[in-house]
Amino acid sequence: MSAEVKENQAAHSGTERRLNMIEAINDALDIMLERDPDVIVMGEDVGYFGGVFRCTAGLQKKHGKTRVFDTPISECGIIGVAVGMGAYGLRPVPEIQFADYIYPGLDQLISEAARLRYRSATEYIAPMTVRSPFGGGIFGGQTHSQSPEALFTHVSGLKTVIPSTPYDAKGLLISCIEDNDPVIFFEPKRIYNGPFSGYYDKPAEPWKRHPQSVVPEGYYKIPLGKARTVTEGDAMTVLTYGTMVHVVEAVCREKGVEAEILDLRTLVPIDIEAIEASVERTGKCLIVHEATRTSGFGAELSALVTERCFYHLEAPVERVTGFDTPYPHSLEWAYFPGPVRIGEAIDKLLKD
C-alpha cells in the first residue's frame, strides 16, 4: 500500500473500500457533479444507460438530465460544444466512447480548446476533461484498441493524463476536472476491471487484491505532473504508464529484477525531476508503452533521458512498444508489448 493511500485512509477515518477503475471514475464524477454545479458530463451513451463501460452509471438519475446527458454521435460536436460551454463558464467532462473515435474532434481540440487561452490572452478558456478509454487487449480490433496519446502530447496547450489504478484514477480525474486547462484523460480499458500481468491466457485478476484498489470515499486529489514510484530498485529505471505499469511490474517480479518502475501518470507536463533522479541513480532506462513506436511518446522520453542524463547512462535507452502496424484483431497478442518483448529488453539492459 502506497504512502499516499495510507495517508488518505487516515484522513478519511479508515473506511477501507475497494473499487475497480470504473467505479473509481464513477465516484470521481459523482463527487465533482455534487461539489461543482458547473460540471457537466456528456457523451455518447453516457446518460440514461450510463456509458458502454458503465463509467457514468447512475449519474444522470442522481444529478439530472441537464447535468449528465447523451450526445449525438459527433466527436467534433462534442468537443466543439464543450469549448462553448467552457467559454460560458461551465466545466464540461465530455466522454469520447473510444480513443479511436476522437479524431473527428481533433480540430476542436488542437486548434480551439488548446489555443483558446493563448489566442484570447486569457479572456476565454476551455476548461474541459476529455475522458476516453484507450489501449488494447480486449479484442477490440484496429478501431477499439489504439493508444493515440502522442498526438496530444505534441500539442501545446493540452495536458495528457493516464491513470493506472483505481486510487489514482479517482484522484487524478478530480484534479483534471478542477484544472483550468483542457486535459485528455485516457483510461486504459484493459485494466478497468483488474490489473493485467500481460498473460492473456491466465485468469483475469480482479482489482480487489491490489493495494491501489482501496479508494477512500469523498474528495481527494492527486496532483498533475507527478509520477508515482511503483517499485523501488537499482537495476534500472522503467518509465511507463497505463496498462503497461502492471505488465512491467509482473515481468520484473517474475524475473526477480529490482527495477525502479515509474508510473508517469501525467505525460504533459511530465515529471522530469522524478525521471532524472531515478535514471541518474540506476544508470539504465527502459521505456514501455503500448502505442506504436515511431514518434510515440517513448521517443520523447528517450530524448529527454539522453539529453539530460547521458553521462549517468551505462547503456543505451531501451524502448518497448507496440509495432508500427494497425492493432490487428486476431493477432492482438502478437502485437501487444507483452512479457516476452519486455523480458528481452530487460535482459539486454542487464547485460549492457
Chain residues binding another protein by CB under 8 A are 40, 66-67, 71-72, 74, 76-77, 80-90, 92, 104, 107-108, 111-112, 115-125, 156-157, 159, 179-181, 225, 268-270, 272
CB of 315 to another protein, least distance (A): 26
Is 191 in contact with 138 (CB distance < 8 Å)? no
Let me know if 154 is a catalytic residue: no
CB of 272 to another protein, least distance (A): 6
Residue 218 or residue 269: which is nearer to another protein going by CB? 269
Q: What are phi and psi of 190, to 5 degrees?
A: -65, -25
Give CA separation, 35 vs 32, 99, 174, 176, 205, in Å.
5, 28, 11, 14, 33
> Which of these, 164, 99, 173, 168, lies nearest to 133 by C-alpha position?
99
Length of the chain: 352
Q: How far apart are CA 331 and CA 338, in angstroms?
A: 13
| Active-site residue, selected from the candidate residues 75, 95, 112, 249 | 75
Is 315 in contact with 321 (CB distance < 8 Å)? no
| 3-state SS, residue 135 | coil
Is 175 in contact with 224 (CB distance < 8 Å)? yes
CB of 117 to another protein, least distance (A): 5
Q: How far apart are CA 337 and CA 78, in angstroms?
A: 32
> Which of these, 59, 180, 161, lies nearest to 118 by C-alpha position?
180
Residue 13 or residue 156: which is nearer to another protein going by CB? 156
Residue 257 or residue 270: which is nearer to another protein going by CB? 270
CB of 160 to another protein, least distance (A): 12
| Active-site residue, selected from the candidate residues 44, 95, 144, 149 | 144
Residue 76 or residue 138: which is nearer to another protein going by CB? 76
Residue 177 or residue 191: which is nearer to another protein going by CB? 177
> Which of these, 324, 319, 253, 333, lies nearest to 286 by C-alpha position?
319
CB of 193 to another protein, least distance (A): 33
Let me know if 329 is a catalytic residue: no
Residue 124 or residue 219: which is nearer to another protein going by CB? 124
CB of 159 to another protein, least distance (A): 7
DSSP symbols for 327-340: --STTHHHHS--HH
> Which residues have a catalytic role annotated?
75, 144
